[in-house]
Structure 1
Amino acid sequence: MDYKFIYDEKEYILTEENCEGIFFDEENEVTGLSLDTILSALKEGIDVNFSNEYYAGICSCETQEQINKSYRYLEYHFYVYTKNKEYVLNTLGEEYKSTSFNTLFSLGKIDDSYIVNVTVCPNCGTYSIEVDQCEV
């Protein structure tokens, strides 16, 4: 599975080989959420637009230019919903288009939400995924 996107006339391909990993909060790992699930969600998403974000840490390729004590990355985020810490659905999927978090929560289909941040080095294309629990 891979996901391709173009940013500033450069093509990026997200694959298993150039992924540094999926990082969860220590006690909040989501069962059933895999790299393939995330890349599939990105492919299914209609308005997936990466934007510039700046972080203090430099990529392992060490080719980024330092800008005011930070380094530029490309980032996109979306949400996933769970029931008992088990992945149920994401906000990019077709099944989410006709519903909302509040509706699914009220029906008891989900009980928690997580933000999924996909962060890509604009120079080498290496990326990582961070999954953080949201306040419900």
Structure 2
Amino acid sequence: MDYKFVYDNKEYVLTDNNCDGIFFEGENEITGLSLDIILNALNEGEEVSFSTEYYGDKCACNTQEQINKSYRYLEYHFYIYTKDNEYVIDTLCNEYRNTSFNKLFGLGKIDDSYIVSVTVCPNCGIYSIYIDQCTV
């Protein structure tokens, strides 16, 4: 599974090979969540649009220019929902288009939410996925 997008006239391809890892906040790993599920979600998303973000850490490629003590990355966010710490659904998939967090929560299908940040080095294309628990 891969995901392709164009930003500033440059094509980026996110695959298993250039993924630096999936990093969970604390010890909160989510059962049933994989890189394939995340890349599939990006492919299903109708309005996926990466934007420029800045972080203090430099990519391992060591080619980024420092800008005010920060380094430029491309980033996109979406949400996943879980039940008993197991992946249930994400906000980009086709199934989610006719529902909402409140509906699913009210039906007892989900009990927690996480923000997924896909962060890509604009120079080499290496990317990381950060998953943080959040309140909706």
Q: Could you tell me the TM-score, scaled by structure 1's length?
A: 0.98
Count of aligned residue pairs for this structure pair:
136
Q: After superposition, where does 1:1-136 map in structure 2 within 5 Å?
A: 1-136=1-136
For residues 99 and 26 of structure 1, what CA distance do their matches in structure 2 show? 29
1:119 partner letter: T
Percent identity over paired residues: 73
Helix, strand or coil for the counterpart of 1:96?
A: helix
CA-based RMSD: 0.7
Helix, strand or coil for the counterpart of 2:27?
A: coil
Gapped regions of structure 1 (runs ≥ 5): none
- Runs of at least 4 residues off by over 6 Å: none
Q: CA deviation at 1:25?
A: 1.8
Q: Could you tell me the TM-score, scaled by structure 2's length?
A: 0.98
1:61 partner letter: C
For residues 10 and 47 of structure 1, what CA distance do their matches in structure 2 show? 18
Q: CA deviation at 1:135?
A: 2.2
For residues 25 and 122 of structure 1, what CA distance do their matches in structure 2 show? 24
Q: CA deviation at 1:26?
A: 2.5
Deviations 1:96-124 (A, max 9, x none): 11111011001000000000000000000
